[in-house]
Homo-oligomer: A and B are copies of this chain.
Amino acid sequence: MLAVYGMKSSGNCYKVQLLLEQLHRPYRWVEVDSAAGQTRTPQYLAMNPNGKVPLLEAGPGRYLAESNAILCYLAEGSPLLPQDAWQRAQVLQWLFFEQYSHEPYIAVARFICRWLPDDHPRRAELPRLRERGVQALAVVEQQLARQPFIAGAEYSVADIALFAYTHAAADGGFDLSTFPQIQAWLQRVRTQPGFVAQQA
């Protein structure tokens, strides 16, 4: 059976949970507390030298890291990862956009606001994170004005990847009220078969 090493509070881990639920794939969830150093133990680093969650155990000794790589691997052969080369390229484009231009601002702002004390020096990063995060949201808003899902007419793993932190953007101080297309899309994602909400 598949195993996922993850933290329920992490959007990157939630992506994997949401996809597995939507694919009706059985899996075992192993909760790992990175704040307590559990991703830096010799045992964990032997599974993932980069010391991050989520981590998929696809079989004995077969480990796959990077949330969006896990999404692609698990969705292969399903409608959530298109077979058509151009459509697939669009999905990948948005997966890389999410990890480079969206998550580093929206997820990091959420982390600072939710888990660091009010007087933590990293709060100084928030203005820049919010500026860049709003830029990313504006790109997503523009895309969703043209088509119902992020990479085209159909729901895909690109929607899962971008939903993971966009739905929780308010945690990082982002105001989604000025992004009506994003709000409507969040609702479309929530009505997909097998959808589960993030638990933390």
Contact = CB atoms under 8 A, between A and B. Distances in A.
A50 B90 CA distance: 14
Given A96-B66, A96-B69, A97-B66, A50 B89 contact: no
Contacts of A103: 100
A161 B73 CA distance: 19
Question: Is chain A's interface secondary structure helix, strand, loop, or mixed overall?
Answer: helix
A76 interface: yes
Contacts of A101: 50
Number of copies: 2
25 contacts: A49-B139, A49-B143, A50-B139, A58-B86, A64-B90, A65-B93, A65-B97, A66-B92, A66-B93, A67-B96, A68-B96, A69-B89, A69-B95, A69-B96, A72-B89, A73-B88, A73-B89, A73-B92, A76-B85, A95-B96, A96-B96, A99-B99, A99-B100, A100-B103, A104-B104
